[in-house]
Structure 1
Amino acid sequence: MLNTLYPIKFTPILKDKIWGGQKLKTLLNKKSDLPNIGESWEISDVEGDTSIVSNGSLKGQSLKQLIETYKENLIGLQNYRIFKDKFPLLIKFIDAKEDLSIQLHPNDELAAKRHNSFGKTEMWYVFQADENSNLIVGFNQDMTPNKYLKHLEEKTLTQILNFDKVKTGDTYFIEVGRIHAIGAGVMVAEIQQTSDITYRVYDWDRVDADGNERELHNDLAIDAFNFNMPDNFRVTYDKTKNQSNEMVSCPYFTTSYLKVDTTLQKENHHDSFIIYMCVDGQVEISANGYSEVIKKGETILLPASIENYQIASKNATLLEVYV
């Protein structure tokens, strides 16, 4: 007989990055001795980096094992029909001590053909930003492939990029084919398709400890660009307390902003798992007689079979994600 499913937490998978820092340790209490922690993969089904359950009776099992065992009860009937035993989202916290490389991601068709992977549509929620820090999203002028390649060749790419100063709560939707980078001093919560495919086009002439530059992917990237995208990447959303305020809704995920200062009775009407990322405060989530507290910088998965649950907090901010 299958276990009754409950709100599931996973052990974060921490990634050392040339541009990473220590905020994931100091601000979000992630446990690591890595010198430059750039990313905390909160929920992952990327090959070789599958999340492991850290709480309850399923502790020690992998996300892949859970899907194979619980199927649509874990991820939802429609999701299981589409994705089978593959979890469709990769959930991260990212700390950029230095600028990330300037990059873009391929669409589903290109990623499947070249890498046997999903594409990488993603969104960012800024939950901490140093003064005068930036995100790079898109170009600051109309762009053509020839104009872009000329600036790339002449190492003047930054002249044509759009730099946005950011603060806590700023939210960006990054569609495939759009050039982008997280700037130094910014921490984001990132929700994305399950994919680790990135085309790096410029890395600030940076070298690693051995004096080597990181690989660039300009030959691959040029076919992945969409040079005709409107500047619709900044997300505006309501912040009404104690209700889910939709931020981003696309074919790959829906994310809402939820500010809680009471006890909420919630129902899952989505035929999907629901993920909560706590970006401020702490909250208790209860379902099927099981309660779990998540604090700022923690993430929890509610299986699709949980129809009713409770969220209680005196003051917390959550991102609510489903497919």
Structure 2
Amino acid sequence: MKLKRKLVAKPWGQTVLPDIFGGSSKKKIGEVWFEAPEGITPQLMTKYLFTSEKMSIQVHPNDRQARRVGFPHGKDECWFVLDAKPDAVLGLGLTKTVSPTKLKTAAILGEIEQLVDWKPVKKGDFFYVPAGTIHVIGADISLIEIQRNVDVTYRIYDYGRPRELHLDESLEVATLAPYDMKHCRDIPADQSASITDSTPFGLFQVIGDDSEILSNTISKEWQIIPLEGSVTVRGKLIKAGECGICPRLSDIDLSKNKKALVACTMT
């Protein structure tokens, strides 16, 4: 099945997108979503993100915390960087462990950026973002985000934009410590790779028709995001800038693939 593409305007988005998304836009497009037909709820959600400004500083709850307030599960996500200007940065975790009071005070005073650990970023970088990680995507970055499909985001700080903040909720779920660098990787552009390790979902980079790298994984949901070339999913052609979904690995034909990301549930 081919998922339906939806362009979403954001205050931090871009007015010039890659040609596969239509090029120039009158609106600032920040996200490209892929949505299933009514009645079907995928366990994962794939997005393209394009930034011209910093996004909000935010955090997501884990399973226990999310269920306590009525959500089915928490939200882990990951980022695969497609492009970034030389001075682009991501914020992941804090520079040091701090108390809830210190973080709250810094957020209220507009000084929280000094606590965030800003990391340089380049094309090919991968970051897994566990639930509880304080994070922010900086300006001038294009990336693919794979996340568990649940709408629960707590904003800590939003650079003066007129959107709701969730400071108290954030303090209840945030890990007030540095990011564990074991969750980031530099992915070689020309090699198939199993990118994630011991996470709620799997992510693979597949070069050509190298289906062997996927063969030992058991999953009930596969999402395929071609980066170069095309794939066929249950008879539907999926090209770059599109996303396909299927329940079985045997539904995927990689014979015309050049490079693709393949995500799957692990539970």
Same fold, judged at TM 0.5 (above): yes
TM-score range, shorter chain: 0.7 to 0.9
Consecutive unaligned residues of structure 2, counting only runs of 5 or more, are: none
Question: RMSD of the TM alignment (CA)?
Answer: 2.6
The one of 245, 260, 265 aligned to 1:318: 260
CA distance in structure 1 between the aligned counterparts of 2:211 and 2:81, rounded to whole angstroms: 27
CA distance in structure 1 between the aligned counterparts of 2:82 and 2:97, rounded to whole angstroms: 30
CA distance in structure 2 between the aligned counterparts of 1:271 and 1:125, rounded to whole angstroms: 21
CA distance in structure 1 between the aligned counterparts of 2:163 and 2:189, rounded to whole angstroms: 44
CA distance in structure 1 between the aligned counterparts of 2:175 and 2:56, rounded to whole angstroms: 18
Task: Give the letter for the 2:116 counterpart.
Answer: L
Compute the TM-score of the two structures, normalised by the length of structure 2. 0.87
CA distance in structure 1 between the aligned counterparts of 2:132 and 2:221, rounded to whole angstroms: 28
How far did 1:309 drift? 4.3
Consecutive unaligned residues of structure 1, counting only runs of 5 or more, are: 1-7, 45-50, 53-61, 68-85, 207-212
**1:226 is the counterpart of 2:136:** no
Alignment of 1:1-323 (within 5 A): 8-24=1-17, 26-30=18-22, 35-42=27-34, 44=35, 51-52=36-37, 62=38, 64=39, 67=40, 86-206=41-161, 213-228=162-177, 230-232=179-181, 234-236=183-185, 239=188, 243=192, 245-260=193-208, 263-264=209-210, 269-279=217-227, 281-285=228-232, 290=235, 292-295=237-240, 297-304=241-248, 307=250, 309-313=252-256, 316-323=258-265
Identity %: 25
CA distance in structure 2 between the aligned counterparts of 1:133 and 1:27, rounded to whole angstroms: 22
User: Residues 192, 308 of structure 1: CA spacing in aligned structure 2 closer, same or farther, 3 A cutoff?
Assistant: closer
CA distance in structure 1 between the aligned counterparts of 2:191 and 2:107, rounded to whole angstroms: 47
How far did 1:303 drift? 2.8
Which structure shows the higher strand fraction?
Answer: 2
Query: CA offsets, 1:267-316, max 9 Å, x none?
Result: 7551423211123x2223365xx362412x22112332x526431347x3
Task: Give the letter for the 2:20 counterpart.
Answer: L
Length, aligned pairs only: 263
Query: CA offsets, 1:21-72, max 9 Å, x none?
Result: 1344x34325996611111112x4xxxxxx23xxxxxxxxx4x2xx5xxxxx
Query: CA offsets, 1:101-158, max 9 Å, x none?
Result: 0111111222222243421100000101122111111111222223322322332111
Compute the TM-score of the two structures, normalised by the length of structure 1. 0.73
User: Residues 32, 113 of structure 1: CA spacing in aligned structure 2 closer, same or farther, 3 A cutoff?
Assistant: farther
CA distance in structure 2 between the aligned counterparts of 1:183 and 1:118, rounded to whole angstroms: 27
CA distance in structure 2 between the aligned counterparts of 1:30 and 1:250, rounded to whole angstroms: 37
How far did 1:256 drift? 1.1
Task: Give the letter for the 1:88 counterpart.
Answer: Q
Task: Give the letter for the 2:247 counterpart.
Answer: P
232-241 or 88-97: which moved more? 232-241
